[in-house]
């Protein structure tokens, strides 16, 4: 069986970071993803998809992403049930992200470590930079 989702879109709001009772970080944000086809009025339609990120990746996203940023999210679809304020059973669909790639630069790059990157390891810090290698590392 396979449950794999890859999305590219823009954040509709800043990530919301919280911590569980045992101290695990969890961040939530919504992603606006355009559909590939046009509707009858020849307009693009957009889906708004909730994304949940856990642990260190949640902290990295919360500290480096904001509304309007372009990201790629790789993860799995999760359907969960909950009771609302009136006790009515509801369902929510969300993507649990396993990987988040930053696809653009922030508007104000100086606020992120002097503009040298995102501080997120392979989560976008090398976007647009050259890749160097030692000739001895080539496996063939």
| Distances, alpha carbon 130 to alpha carbons 20, 54, 120, 135, in Å | 38, 30, 17, 15
Q: Which domain holds residue 16?
A: 5-137
**How many CB atoms are closer than 10 A to CB 65?**
24
Specify the higher pLDDT residue, 49 or 136: 49
CA 13 to chain centre: 12
- Tell me how many domains the chain contains: 1
Q: What is the pLDDT of residues 98-123, one digit of tens each?
A: 999 999 887 766 555 433 333 333 44
pLDDT score at 107 = 72
pLDDT in tens, 26-76: 999 999 999 988 888 888 899 999 999 999 999 999 999 999 999 999 999
The answer to whether 55 and 18 have CB atoms below 8 angstroms apart is no
Which CATH number does the domain housing residue 92 bear?
A: 2.40.50.140
């Amino acid at each position: 069986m396979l449950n794999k989702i890859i999305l590219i879109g823009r954040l509709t709001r800043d990530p919301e970071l919280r911590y569980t009772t045992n101290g695990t970080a969890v961040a939530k944000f919504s992603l606006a993803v355009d559909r590939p086809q046009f509707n009858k009025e020849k307009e693009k339609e957009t889906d708004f998809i909730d994304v949940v990120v856990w642990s260190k990746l949640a902290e990295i996203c919360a500290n480096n992403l904001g509304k309007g940023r372009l990201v790629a999210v790789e993860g799995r679809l999760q359907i969960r049930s909950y009771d609302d304020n009136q006790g009515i059973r509801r369902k929510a669909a969300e993507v649990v992200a396993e990987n988040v790639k930053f696809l653009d630069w922030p508007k104000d790059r100086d606020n992120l470590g002097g503009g040298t990157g995102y501080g997120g390891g392979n989560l976008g810090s090398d976007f647009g930079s050259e890749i160097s290698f030692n000739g001895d590392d080539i496996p063939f």
